[in-house]
Structure 1
Amino acid sequence: MNRSPQSIAAYELLYIVGIIAISFSAIFVRWSDADVAVIAMYRLYLTNLIMLPLVFKYRAELFRLSARQWRLLAFSAIMLALHFLLWMASLRLTTVASSTVILTLEPVIVMLGSYLLFRTRTNRMMLWGVGITLIGSIVIGSGDFTLSREALLGDVLSLLGAAAVAFHVLIGKQVRKDMNAFTYNFWIFALAATALAFYNIARGNSFTGYSPKEWGIFLLLAIVPTLFGHYLFNWLLKHMSAAAVSMSVLGEPVIASLLAWVLLKEALTGYQLAAGALVLFGVWLFIRHGKE
């Protein structure tokens, strides 16, 4: 697919905006005292609420989906809900740096899945990009890894969350081939939120009684990392490879760790900061050489 330098630059700029936006997710979750399943549910339902004014414009496609599309949407939504549930839970058990750095395994899973399922080709420079970013990300989180039972459980939950979102991206790539971004995102968020609602009912979690501060955090999660993060990445799935979009998670440990340092007082060392620059270089390398 031939693209003009202007369009490539625009996609890369939007990609950077998305990385910055999703990096705030861990901070907002840490600020909240609500159950992680409640946080994730309201994050997605509020996103749908913000999207409602555009429903009329896209009504034709929204309600004319095939049975196959509904099945794929449902499975993708469940994977997204599972990702939020597992990853947010990990933030209650380990540091922001440790939790986000483990998510860097997502593009590796996506790249492997793309090859096994769709025979997607990967060039040498893309592999170099993945390798560089993984090394940098591991260095960022190395100072926070511990052998405590809680931290290890948090690491496992983050790893499982990475696998879930990798499946979400792979399925989304197929669904987005014949579906616009609004329709895909609207139903993905609605279905994932509903799956989380059933989970909350089963757990006996309250749907009401939250303070204005909590509702403010729910709304920030809906606007910043969801609309300017996940929605944007889902839109980019039609213009970039699934592996390239998933690489966005590799920039997250850098920015999230810096935010945690400033806002949560989680210390960073000099070599971790240097590793952050390495991660960003690897992300840039992968994007530059990534092909459909």
Structure 2
Amino acid sequence: MKKSMVALLALSVVCIAFAAIFVKLSEAPASIISMYRMLFAGVLLSPIIFRYRRELLKPTVKEWWALMAAGLFLAMHFGFWFASLQLTSVASSTVILALQPLVAMVAAYLLYKEKVSTKMVTIVFISFFGVVLISWGDFSFTDLSAIFGNMLSFLGVTAVVAYFLIGQNTVRNLTHWVYSFLVFSIAGLFLLVYNIVTGTELFRYGPREWSFFLLLAILPTIAHVIFNYLLNELTPTTVSMAMLLEPVGASFLAYFILSESLTPLQVIGGLIVLSGVYFFLFNQHRERRNRTL
């Protein structure tokens, strides 16, 4: 791999790792943080969308319904995940979020009856055992908020998997940029409606909070732009494996910035989860390569 590719991968991982830190530092409600993260990301993509503006007329009625559903699940993903970060540790939340490819495999099996090898099933069970260890390491008879935070993080995983399944199987005639712009904007509007209905304050936040809202839109968006560029040079599996470094980077930053510590069970559970996801992606890549030979 070229040094420039490695540098871009490292930059993208750092950008995403900081997202959890900004959420943790923010004192705004999770639904507000999620809303502005989506709406500001949509605004940032607007100049690119102007180039593809004719595509905005392409979606059929059925595809618009799919876009609405995808936006709703994306809103739920960020709402659940950001709420989990306010209740549990950065390490626990981000590691559980890394289960996304395994949950996607289970969902594909249940919905589309896609074949799953015994090896893959074993990897899934081992990874979920790692999640149990993480939650056990967070367990306290006097404070169950961390356990609830872990549950919210897992709900965030299921929501983002639903978001990806809808996008991959329904909306096919849009570029990634237009699709992202639409679902980001729709997700932001869903969260706006939620905040209005629940009476959550929309605007009265200090400069510190607004800077977090903006940074949460900028850094992950930069990371996704880099990932999209790297997919032209690297395999999706390589990029996905690099994204597994996000929990490691986020935990490292949380240790120095937030003074968060890790229990031995959290460390062991995290290593099991990340190893499971790594072997899943590696095995998936090898199977795909064998099919093309």
Give TM class, smaller chain. 0.7 to 0.9
2:69 counterpart residue number: 75
Residue identity in the other structure for 1:91: L
How many Å separate the matches in 2 of 1:246 and 1:119? Answer: 24
Whether the aligned pair in 2 keeps the contact of 1:41 and 1:196 (CA below 8 Å) is yes
CA distance in 2, matches of 1:159, 1:41: 20
Q: Distance in 1 between matches of 2:183 and 2:107?
A: 21
Rounded Cα–Cα distance in structure 1 between residues aligned with 2:89 and 2:170: 34
Alignment counterpart, residue 197 of structure 2, candidates 199, 202, 222: 202
Whole-angstrom distance in 2 between the partners of 1:13 and 1:116: 38
Partner of 1:170: 165
Describe the shift of the 1:232–1:69 C-alpha distance in structure 2 as closer, same or farther (beyond 3 A).
farther
Check whether the contact 2:81–2:93 (CA below 8 A) recurs between aligned residues: yes
Match of 2:39? 45
Say how many residue pairs are matched: 281
- Amino-acid identity (%): 39
- Letter in structure 2 aligned against 1:163: T
Letter in 2 for 1:107: P
The answer (yes or no) to whether the contact 1:133–1:283 under 8 Å persists in 2 is yes
CA RMSD across the alignment: 3.6
> How far is 1:278 from its partner?
5.7
2:84 alignment counterpart: 90
After the TM superposition, which residues 72-221 of structure 1 pair with which residues of structure 2 at under 5 Å, given as runs?
72-123=66-117, 126=120, 130=124, 134=128, 139=133, 142-147=136-141, 148-175=143-170, 177-221=172-216
Kept in 2: contact 1:97–1:140 (CA 8 A) = no
Gaps of 5+ in 1: none
Partner deviation per Cα, 1:177-216 (whole Å, 9 max, x = no partner):
4321101100010000000000111122222222221111
What is the deviation of 1:80? 0.8
Tell me the distance in 2 between the aligned counterparts of 1:204 and 1:26.
25
Question: Which deviations, in whole Å up to 9, do the C-alpha atoms of 1:16-43 show, x marking residues without a partner?
Answer: 7655433322211111111111111111
Change (3 A) 1:75 1:186: same
**Distance of 1:179 and 1:268 partners within structure 2:** 43
For residue 35 of structure 1, the aligned residue among 29, 33, 47 is: 29
The change in CA–CA distance for 1:168 and 1:120 in structure 2 (over 3 A counts) is same
Q: 1:279 to 1:86 in 2, by over 3 A?
A: closer
- TM-score, normalising length: structure 1: 0.79
**Aligned in 2, Cα 1:30/1:216: closer, same or farther, shift over 3 Å?**
same
Asked whether the 8 Å contact 1:40–1:85 carries over to 2, the reply is: yes
Further displaced range: 58-67 or 156-165: 156-165
Consecutive unaligned residues of structure 2, counting only runs of 5 or more, are: 289-293
CA distance in 1, matches of 2:236, 2:166: 15
Q: CA deviation at 1:115?
A: 2.0
Distance 1:104 1:53, change over 3 A: closer
Alpha-carbon contact 1:260-1:266 (below 8 Å) kept: yes
Determine the structure 2 residue equivalent to 1:58: 52
The more displaced of 103-112 and 161-170 is: 103-112
Question: Tell me, what secondary structure is at the counterpart of 1:55?
Answer: helix
1:100 counterpart letter in structure 2:
T
Relative to the length of structure 2, the TM-score reads 0.79
CA gap 1:272/1:94 in 2 versus in 1, 3 angstroms: closer
